[in-house]
Amino acid sequence: METEPMIRRTLRVSVLLAVIMLMAGCGVELLTTTAIQGELQAQQMSAMQNQVKNAAGTTGRINLERAIQTYIADKGGNPPSLEALVPDFIPALPKKADGSDYGYDASTGKLTDAPSASRGSISPTDLQMMESIRTAINSYGTATGYYPPTLDALYPNYLTKLPRTDAGEAFVYNDQNGYVAHPREQQAPQPASTTASVGGGGGAGPMGEVMTGMSVQNQLNQMNQSGTSSAGSRMRESASGLGQGQDAKNNAAMDQLGL
């Protein structure tokens, strides 16, 4: 009689152990599923973050390119550096998706994939001086029809002080096209003059157009003066020839009359 209860207890223990083992297996499976879901969510979050960074980088590049074009339209030349765009043309310089800075070629006015090669950062004071120099060059050219022979020629009529950097260096200047750059910038090929020259001057932009207009007007005046002078000479020659011919006819008629 005692054997039967023992068998029943053994069966209950076996069933209980089986249930416990089954529940433990479900727990492991649940933990495994949760870990996989967490990994997938982390990968999705990383992909979304990369997409956001790429979108921000694309937007930043577009805004930067627009700022460069606005600068060119306003100043008549390429910005000497990306820093020259801040804050008038863009609030702050954006960065690429990987967090690095955009590269820039001042000779073409285009962004590059490689970082800009520079021999030193340009201080805000020097950037402000470069803008003042460009404004003074435009005023000088409008008034005279020429680019200034040197930047020092802008002082004191067009600049309140000599054009020098904070370190006392002279700015890079080309009197053939009005190009101005900071001495610590990488020396890139200077933009070629694209308009007619006036007394050795010339260049692109508003001042170049003003000076080109002066040149065309001066040439037209010279052509008019030359044409008037030439026409007067021809008229005098014609009158002289007619007079000489009339004198010859008069002399012949008098000879026939025996006078």
What pLDDT sits at residue 235? Answer: 52
What pLDDT sits at residue 137? Answer: 94
Residues 6+ apart with CB under 8 A from 156: none
What pLDDT sits at residue 91? Answer: 92
What pLDDT sits at residue 201? Answer: 37
Taking only the tens place, the pLDDT of each residue in 201-219 is 334 444 554 554 555 455 5
What pLDDT sits at residue 200? Answer: 36
What pLDDT sits at residue 110? Answer: 87
The pTM is what? 0.37
Query: Could you read off the pLDDT tens digit of each residue along the chain, which spans 259 residues?
Result: 556 677 777 777 777 777 676 666 655 566 667 777 777 777 777 666 666 656 666 898 999 999 999 999 998 888 888 888 988 999 998 988 888 888 888 878 888 776 554 545 678 888 889 889 999 999 999 999 999 999 999 999 999 999 999 888 899 999 988 888 888 764 444 444 444 333 333 344 445 545 545 554 555 555 555 555 555 555 555 555 555 666 666 666 666 656 6
What pLDDT sits at residue 187? Answer: 47
Name the residue type at position 181.
A
Taking only the tens place, the pLDDT of each residue in 51-62 is 665 666 689 899
* Three-state secondary structure readout of the chain: CCHHHHHHHHHHHHHHHHHHHHHHHHHHHHHHHHHHHHHHHHHHHHHHHHHHHHHHHHHHHHHHHHHHHHHHHHHCCCCCCHHHHCCCCCCCCCECCCCCECEEECCCCEEECCCCCECCCCCHHHHHHHHHHHHHHHHHHHHHCCCCCCHHHHCCCCCCCCCECCCCCECEEECCCCEEECCCECCCCCCCCCCCCCCCCCCCCHHHHHHHHHHHHHHHHHHHHHHHHHHHHHHHHHHHHHHHHHHHHHHHHHHHCCC
| Cα–Cα distance for residue pair 140/203, rounded to 1 Å | 14
